[in-house]
Structure 1
Amino acid sequence: MKLNIQDTFNKELPADPITENYVRQVENACFSFVTPTKTANPQIIHVSSEMLENLGLATADAQSDEFKNVFTGNEVLPNTQPYAMCYGGHQFGNWAGQLGDGRAINLTEIVHNKQRWAIQLKGAGKTPYSRTADGLAVLRSSIREYLCSEAMFHLGVPTTRALSLALSGDEVLRDVLYNGNPAYEKGAIVSRIAPSFLRFGNYQILAVRNDIETLKTLVDYTIKHFYPELGTPSKESYLQFFKKVAENSLEMVIHWQRVGFVHGVMNTDNMSILGLTIDYGPYGWLEGYDYGWTPNTTDSQHKRYRYGNQPNIVLWNLYQLANALYPLINETEGLEKVLADFGTSFETKYLNMMLSKIGLFTEEENDQKLIQELENNLHLTETDMTIFYRNLSRFSKENPGKGITIIQDAFYGPIEQLPEITEAWNKWFNKYSIRLQLEKGTDTERTEKMNAINPKYVLRNYMAQLAIDAADKGEYGLIDELFNLLKKPYSEQEDQEKWFAKRPDWARNKVGCSMLSCSS
């Protein structure tokens, strides 16, 4: 197994001078060296062939003992020094102090086809940042992360990736609902891949501690390797760096809203400096269209991270990053302009995204009102987001009266006896039909464009839970089936039609299928 190892993070940035692995506050450093914990009886249960290729590896490599041992933490690659990153963060709006890679260990960085990849293991044991936890992960959460990160990539959403899913062979104690009833579960390890796993919190912790020298070193490193077009370090390049991060973060959240993804725990330590979706914990897919929905049990009271609030939270998090970068810029005007531009850009990009979802690719005077009325209607009764938009592509502008018939499969309950809802939809379809007359192209062409934007298949929580339940019994076929299904989310895949369906009743209130905890 040959990898083109090109480490930079643990060579160019200051390291924690203490090499013992015990929980502590780590200061004046960006990371701590740490060796993964060896496991009892590791077993690779799935590998992404696409990510193998991206790393310059072959199928034969994935079948070797060396691959199994390296990607379960039982063997360290020659000439590498694994490490855990130091960062802080705001959790649910409150500064939480030092957090760091509590159950993630970075193995190395490689370069293949001029692309840099950082390789990380999640669930490979304690680090100095584990606080009171064990640094391990369970099969349940690992399946969810493995499947979702790859599914998001194929949806066209900026994301970290996943290479492999493995059983550790160890049992891990978890309290899934935080209700005082812990139970042992199968331990697992996911190999996560990204150009970098740097988060807003990496910069925040240094600014809060007034360690401006290390902060500057880290920002200079980030620009050098990930935003090289910004040039040499200066106040102007630092401001442009913040602008780029804001633009990338906006692009990411627009995609989340487009496909109905709800992250669930948008703390600043879960915000990638590259604008990637990172840390798949209590996420969920919007099934009933509801701005107020959050999948996170911890967030069920205040709903800070609900679907409709995600863009506002990205902006709030950017404010915190601006505060962290301020010591390098020493003036607020430029930072405030970037933050103000975020709001303006969001409104424009969101409207364009929503128009494209309904097959409108030019902008007319009353389009914003048409979208607002659509979103109001989607809230009138429980309506499946994915099915609604996918079926809407079959609408004919010549037959507005058939609109409800086309979308009725998206309703969780019948609306025939609900005249106000029926009337609201009929009015909207009439306006939509008139608006479509202004678009060029045929209905067939519009259908193709809409189906390239509105996925047919997403990783609904009940689907992931079915794969988890099967894997708990040692059956991994459903993991593979869903993995391959979600590689082509915009394709019809007629043999997989069973997955184009509303959430079943049995899953409505089942643990793992509706609300999830941060340990999920």
Structure 2
Amino acid sequence: MNPFDGLAWTNRFAGLGPDFFTELPAQGLPDPHWVAQSPDCAQLLGLPADWTTRPEALAALSGNGAWPGMQPLASVYSGHQFGVWAGQLGDGRALWLGELDTPSGPQELQLKGGGMTPYSRRGDGRAVLRSSIREFLCSEAMAALGVPTTRALCITGSRLPVIRETVETAAVVTRVAPSFIRFGHFEHFAHHDQLDALRRLVDWFIAHHAPECADAPEPAVALLRKVSLQTADLIAHWQAVGFCHGVMNTDNMSMLGLTLDYGPFGFMDAFNPGHVCNHSDDRGRYAYARQPAVAFWNLHALAQAFVPLLEGEQEAAGERLLEAVEAYRGRFAEQMLGRLRAKLGLEGEDAGDQALADDLLKLMAASSADFTITFRRLSRALSQPEPLRDMFIDREAADAWLARWRARVTPGAEARMLAINPAVVLRNHLAEGAIRAAQQQDFTEIERLLKVLSRPFDEPAVPSDAALPPDWASTLEVSCSS
């Protein structure tokens, strides 16, 4: 029995027509098996509790069949990669299954790792177990932290060999989002002078995902402003939890302001504003401290794609679009300061709050203090200051900062801070432990870790989940193949 019986497939994106995608079936995994499932994501979709017991679910989510109503397709897009125009890209190892009308609103389902598409270029269209586990766990961990993100319903696996740096095994992640449309979708049609298609895509996106923009004097400008504000909110979320995306190309930027495409990501251990989580990023373009500016740059690339849609001279049109993008800067500064105030337990606004937050971050950087643990210990520092002081080399400077903070903080700060500063994030070494077990066909650590990450503000039952990373964690590297 189809576990999606009772849920309607609406497939609005498919109505755009063949300029936007290629219809094709997935290349299924041979002899697939379940690796992991997310109960929270299944609930979001309205799936029955026993959905994983149905053979049809394993088959369809391994690419070995489609349920009635599914319309598998790979979309085309382009984009800037590491700041350079990369030309046509597209869903090279992702396959859109369709869009469900769920209790949480319309949600698109996508298989990542379902085989080659016309946009795979020289790739094999496959995903490996290692990277699939990382994406699955981080998608759900970010959702639990409150960070806007695509979701992950499940992983299926196979013994099928896949060659990366070494021979690995294949897997498929089922990803879920209201839309997987990227900046690069719009860049593609603008760059190729397909203006009718560009207009159709903008109109379609506004109708289904930004209807409030439809009645604006210039809907494209209103849409760009909306995307700029959503992107600012997203990046402030990232910075506040110490998250590094690793590959912020325009084709990896969501039009809905979601965290999209978990590749060489990482949560910082020792705080370093210049931290680069992607081993392939040898110039540090996507370092932690540069993420806000890169997002702003990417919005300018999106604005450039919108220029042909506006009437009048291009220079004047560009100025109106740039004004919409400028909304990002004020919104990011506002959101970032608000999140830092929350992490420090501060209520209300004070002119010295920015300096107070900045000075703590400087202390953390000077001591390479662990990002997550420092803020967690700060949450209890009114009654237990010593664990926090232990994070810093310069105790006198730490004490001076603590005195300033105590003078500013208000009653009830501890409870507020414990609810905003997580005890557990998906550190690379935690993911690595689950990966190594899974490579031996033991998937229990994925399930255990998923449960811990689903309650990130609770102290975990296993203390090491929230402890400083072990020494061997510093040898882990993630790259664009991760």
- Corresponding residue to 1:376 among 355, 362, 371: 362
Query: Is 2:165 the partner of 1:203?
Result: no
Paired residues of 2:29 and 2:157 also in contact (CA < 8 A): no
**CA distance in structure 1 between the partners assigned to 2:372 and 2:29 by the alignment:** 40
Q: Tell me how far 1:235 sits from its aligned partner.
A: 5.2
Q: Tell me how far 1:408 sits from its aligned partner.
A: 4.4
**CA distance in structure 2 between the partners assigned to 1:79 and 1:339 by the alignment:** 38
Q: Which residue of 2 aligns with 1:9?
A: 13
Query: Is 2:392 the partner of 1:425?
Result: no
TM-score by length of 1: 0.89
Q: Which residue of 2 aligns with 1:25?
A: none
Paired residues for 1:70-469 under 5 Å: 70-113=60-103, 115-175=105-165, 183-231=166-214, 236-299=218-281, 301-330=282-311, 331-396=317-382, 403=385, 405-408=386-389, 410=391, 415=393, 421-436=394-409, 439=410, 442=411, 445-469=412-436
The letter of the residue matching 1:323 is Q
Paired residues of 1:82 and 1:105 also in contact (CA < 8 A): yes
SS in 1 for 2:367: coil
SS in 1 for 2:366: coil
- Corresponding residue to 2:466 among 500, 504, 510: 500
Q: Tell me how far 1:115 sits from its aligned partner.
A: 0.4
Aligned residues: 473
SS in 2 for 1:272: coil
Runs of 4+ in structure 1 deviating by more than 4 angstroms, as ranges, are: 408-411
Show CA shifts across 1:174-217 (max 9, x none).
Answer: 12xxxxxxx21111000001011000000001001111100000
**CA distance in structure 2 between the partners assigned to 1:429 and 1:110 by the alignment:** 51
Paired residues of 2:128 and 2:162 also in contact (CA < 8 A): yes
**CA distance in structure 1 between the partners assigned to 2:177 and 2:262 by the alignment:** 14
**CA distance in structure 2 between the partners assigned to 1:205 and 1:165 by the alignment:** 30
Q: Which residue of 2 aligns with 1:18?
A: none
**CA distance in structure 2 between the partners assigned to 1:464 and 1:111 by the alignment:** 32
TM-score by length of 2: 0.95
Query: Is 2:444 the partner of 1:477?
Result: yes
**CA distance in structure 2 between the partners assigned to 1:186 and 1:389 by the alignment:** 38
Q: Tell me how far 1:114 sits from its aligned partner.
A: 5.7
Q: Tell me how far 1:247 sits from its aligned partner.
A: 0.9
Change (3 A) 1:290 1:320: same
Q: Tell me how far 1:69 sits from its aligned partner.
A: 0.5
Q: Which residue of 2 aligns with 1:19?
A: none
Q: Tell me how far 1:141 sits from its aligned partner.
A: 0.2
Q: Tell me how far 1:74 sits from its aligned partner.
A: 0.1
**CA distance in structure 1 between the partners assigned to 2:331 and 2:53 by the alignment:** 47
Percent pairwise identity = 40
Q: Which residue of 2 aligns with 1:418?
A: none
Paired residues of 2:153 and 2:173 also in contact (CA < 8 A): yes
Paired residues of 2:233 and 2:331 also in contact (CA < 8 A): no
Q: Tell me how far 1:346 sits from its aligned partner.
A: 1.8
Show CA shifts across 1:217-274 (max 9, x none).
Answer: 0011111111122235x75221111111111111111110111110000000000000
Paired residues of 1:235 and 1:328 also in contact (CA < 8 A): no
Q: Tell me how far 1:395 sits from its aligned partner.
A: 1.7
SS in 2 for 1:171: strand
SS in 2 for 1:508: helix
**CA distance in structure 2 between the partners assigned to 1:45 and 1:270 by the alignment:** 26
**CA distance in structure 2 between the partners assigned to 1:311 and 1:480 by the alignment:** 33
Structure 2: gaps of 5 or more residues: 312-316
**CA distance in structure 2 between the partners assigned to 1:280 and 1:219 by the alignment:** 26
**CA distance in structure 1 between the partners assigned to 2:339 and 2:28 by the alignment:** 47
The letter of the residue matching 2:478 is L
Q: Which residue of 1 aligns with 2:478?
A: 516
Q: Tell me how far 1:79 sits from its aligned partner.
A: 3.7
**CA distance in structure 2 between the partners assigned to 1:165 and 1:32 by the alignment:** 24
Considering only aligned residues, what root-mean-square deviation do their CA atoms show, in Å? 1.4
**CA distance in structure 2 between the partners assigned to 1:173 and 1:339 by the alignment:** 41
Show CA shifts across 1:494-520 (max 9, x none).
Answer: x2322111111011113xxxx311010
SS in 2 for 1:431: helix
Structure 1: gaps of 5 or more residues: 16-28, 176-182, 416-420
Paired residues of 1:385 and 1:410 also in contact (CA < 8 A): no
